[in-house]
Amino acid sequence: MAETLALTAERRDRAGKGAARAARREDKVPAVIYGDKKEPTLIKVGSREVTKLWNTGNFMSTLLDLDVDGDTTRVIARDVQLDPVRDFIIHVDFLRLGKGAKINVMIPVNFINEEESPGISKQKGVLNVVRHEVELLCPANNLPDEITIDLTGKEIGDSIHISEVALPEGAKPTITDRDFTIATIAAPTVAPVEDEAPEAPDAPEAENGGDAEGGDAESSDD
pLDDT over 50 (residue 190): yes
CATH number for the domain harbouring residue 120? 2.170.120.20
pLDDT tens digits, residue range 99-158? 889 999 999 999 999 999 999 999 999 999 999 999 999 998 888 889 999 999 999 999
HSE-up (13 A, CA, CB side) for residue 92? 30
Q: Are residues 88 and 114 in the same domain?
A: no
Q: How far is Cα 110 from Cα 95, in angstroms, rounded to an integer?
A: 27
Q: Which domain holds residue 170?
A: 103-186
Contact 157, 181 (CB under 8 A): no
pLDDT in tens, 10-30: 998 877 888 888 888 899 999
Q: What is the pLDDT of residue 203?
A: 53
Among 53, 73, 98, residue at a domain's last position: 98
Q: pTM (2 decimals)?
A: 0.70
Q: Considering Cα of 104, then 108, then 114, then 119, what sign does the dihedral take?
A: positive
Whether residue 35 is contained in a domain is answered as yes
Q: How far is CA 126 from the centre of its chain?
A: 19
The residues that bridge with 128 in the sheet, in sequence order, are 184
Residue 36 lies in a domain: yes
| 32 and 72 housed in the same domain | yes
Cα 144 to Cα 169: distance, rounded to the nearest angstrom: 9
